[in-house]
A and B are shown apart, each in its own frame.
Chain A
């Protein structure tokens, strides 16, 4: 549809048709004092001046493209292949708003169907929806799904403290008013400690894989214990890690959710991100969100449509399990392009790079005076080190003196992990970056010591 602005002639014709003399007359019902208030706005800028002003503002910020980045904690600096932008920037994808009428949106619907299929392959699950806003809300929706699978008769949910702190907070926000008891196992360091909290009032257990501290472990024993009380196991997974680790579907996960930002979306200052949600076929009618299905038209040709709409709130409001009525179409498309461009082998290679670089970094950092690794559990691309100075001081020093973005200060969320830093290393950190970080941390020690003398 072309965009052509109205001419004065168009406006006059419309006003005449409705019997109104001028546009101002249409606002007669607004009280006079509020009708055309004085606004203290500066003069309009020309396109050139507007661009200068915005460039100056943007220039005050730096991005992960400018400085070496060792910060993860839920948002990851991964490579975005050029083909992703080439595909998603096409006008048909980029500008369309909820393009789901099958008659004119087969391209979009097919892309989402392929996204759903690849998410299933990646997670080892049977069905995926067309995505949620982000990993945190996908996790909350998974909890709501589990509670609905139990027909609202079980109100206790168990969530590991090693699930991202912000995801746990979002779960609490989303489930307000549902009468749920949310139990977080405060003490135990590993997921198997959660089994003590299970009983037949438990609707679901949520764990993260790898967990917030970067560690992963065999969740088979936990899965068995969860199923023994007929609860659901929800796994929050890092999709890049799944290029290397066993898919949660293979060790008994009932719902797999997570943040898909690492697959083609970049950091984007926090969004838009991508929540993926995959589950077993038997729970599909309790799953929220859009679902694209494959079918045939009246001539027997393959086609794609939105399906299972009766789960959603516009068909049966009181019985819908959620009020979410959207998905992250463009970001899901980016993830689909990413997965297709890399393929199984490529994704594995990315995962391996992350794994090996992180392990190299951990070895070298743990060798610096005053630094030590938290424990010896297996980790993917993030690890914890105890630091000789407060994390904030280290990060300020790294940024100001070396142009390095340091890791996450775990003391913010876990009081017993004060002075512990969560370091993230991805394929975007060349070895020189890691060596420079090690050098910088060593230099800080030297300076601190000489300051103390």
Chain B
């Protein structure tokens, strides 16, 4: 399971990472592996606002469709348009090219409430049982 040491993780397997004043989000390597081949990512529109934990989109794979939840509340500044034609980027490079949204966080301190890479790794191990 690959991890991004700079990112923090939500229990719903999304990651968040600072880039300047903005937060970049996507789904973890563990998530993309569980989903298997991703065929479609439904993203919100720029300007949409979400509270922490709200569903901001949907990721569809050959075997399932799952809601995506914002790890931190805020306003959508940008979405990864490449995912429209090449959703498989999420499988190939979940922490970099497979990024999904950038947002202006409403509560920057919330970042610290998320799990860091080690905590997330332990969390996943426990979830697997």
Contact = CB atoms under 8 A, between A and B. Distances in A.
A315 interface: yes
Nearest to A312: B65
Interface residues of A, number: 6
Contacts of B58: 316, 319
A310 B64 contact: yes
B101 to A, nearest CB: 15
A230 interface: no
A18 to B, nearest CB: 37
Nearest to A319: B58
B18 interface: no
Interface in A307-321: 310, 315-316, 319
Q: Interface size for chain B: under 10, 10 to 19, 20 to 34, or 35 or more residues?
A: under 10
B60 interface: yes
A392 interface: no
Nearest to A320: B65
A315 B67 CA distance: 12
Contacts of B40: 285, 310
B64 A285 contact: no
Interface string B54-95: 000010100011110000000000000000000000000000
A337 to B, nearest CB: 33
A161 B67 CA distance: 39
Interface of A: 151, 285, 310, 315-316, 319
16 contacts: A151-B45, A285-B40, A285-B42, A310-B40, A310-B60, A310-B64, A310-B65, A315-B64, A315-B65, A316-B58, A316-B65, A316-B66, A316-B67, A319-B58, A319-B65, A319-B67
Given A151-B45, A315-B64, A315-B65, 11 more contacts: A285-B40, A285-B42, A310-B60, A310-B64, A310-B65, A316-B58, A316-B65, A316-B66, A316-B67, A319-B65, A319-B67
What are the 10 closest A-B residue pairs judged by CB atoms, nearest first? Answer: A310-B65, A316-B65, A310-B60, A315-B65, A319-B58, A285-B40, A315-B64, A319-B65, A319-B67, A285-B42
